[in-house]
Amino acid sequence: MSGEIPAFYDDLMLSLAEARALLLRGAQDRHCAAHTPVVATVDAGGMPSQRVMILRECDWEARRLRFHTDSRGDKVGQLAGSNKISVLIYDEPAKLQLRLTGHGQIETDSPAIDAAWRESTLFARRCYMAENAPGGISDAPTSGLPEWIEGIKPTEDQLAPARDNFAVLYVIFDRVDWLYLANRGHRRAMFRWNDAAGAWQGQWLVP
Ligand SMILES: Cc1cc2nc3c(=O)[nH]c(=O)nc-3n(C[C@H](O)[C@H](O)[C@H](O)COP(=O)(O)O)c2cc1C
C-alpha cells in the first residue's frame, strides 16, 4: 500500500476498467492471483460451497468467465439445483478485491466446448480420465486416474473417451463488488449491470 494515488481512485468508470483489466490479466497470466479465483455455489441444503478454479477466459463484453470442470463433480449437480454463483479474487500487487455475482451455466456439447477441450494441454485433459466421479469415496489413497497413465502424458487417442467427462462452466456476472486498499483510505464501489441501458452503473460504497 504505497502512498501513490492511482487515476481510478476517485473515478467510478476507471475503477470498473481496473476490474476488467484484472480479469483479463487473470485469464492470461498464470502467475496472477486472478488466475485462480474462488468460485462459490450453493448446495442442496442451501449451504455455500467454494473451491479454487482456474480462470480460462474473460469475455468482458459478454460479462462471462470460462472455467473447465468435470461434468461428474459436485458443483455441476449443485448448479442444476441453484444457478446462483459468486467469484472471489484478491490480487495483492493490485490491492484489488473483486466479488462477482451472477449465474452459472454448465455446457458439455457445442463446438465451443469441443474447442476448449482441444486447446487444453494433454496433461490438463488427463484429469478427465478419472474412472470415478470427483468427490467419490475411495478405500485407498488415489489420484482417481487409471494406474497405467499415472506420471505419463496421454496421447490424443488415449484421451478421447475422457471428453465425455469434460464440461465448461460459464459464469455470467451482473454485479461487481470492487474494493481497493490504500493507505490514504480504501475505496469501495458496487457496479450493477443495467440490462435496459445496456451499461454498467456504479455507486461508491463505504469500504
Ligand atoms: C490451484 C487449483 C486449481 C484448480 N483448478 C480447478 C479447475 O480449473 N476446475 C475444477 O473443476 N477444479 C479445480 N480445482 C479443484 C477444485 O478446487 C475442487 O477441489 C474440485 O473441483 C472439486 O470441487 P467440487 O467437489 O465442488 O465439484 C483446482 C484446485 C486448485 C488448488
**Which residues form the pocket of ligand 1, taking CB atoms under 6 Å from any ligand atom?**
36, 49, 51-54, 67-70, 73-75, 134-135
Which three cell numbers, joined as nine digits, stand for 89? Answer: 479474487
Q: Which residue has the CA at smallest separation from atom 7 of ligand 1?
A: 53
Say what the pTM is.
0.97
For residue 54, report the distance from its CA to the centre of ligand 1, in Å: 8
For residue 51, report the distance from its CA to the centre of ligand 1, in Å: 6
Identify the pLDDT of residue 3.
64
Please, which residues bridge with residue 85 across strands?
Answer: 102
**Mean pLDDT in consecutive groups of 10 residues from the start of the chain, 207 residues:** 82 98 98 98 98 98 98 98 98 97 97 96 96 95 94 95 98 98 97 97 98
Give the domains, in start order, of the chain with CATH numbers: 7-116+166-205 (2.30.110.10)
> Which ligand 1 atom is nearest residue 41's CA?
26
For residue 158, report the distance from its CA to the centre of ligand 1, in Å: 23
For residue 152, report the distance from its CA to the centre of ligand 1, in Å: 21
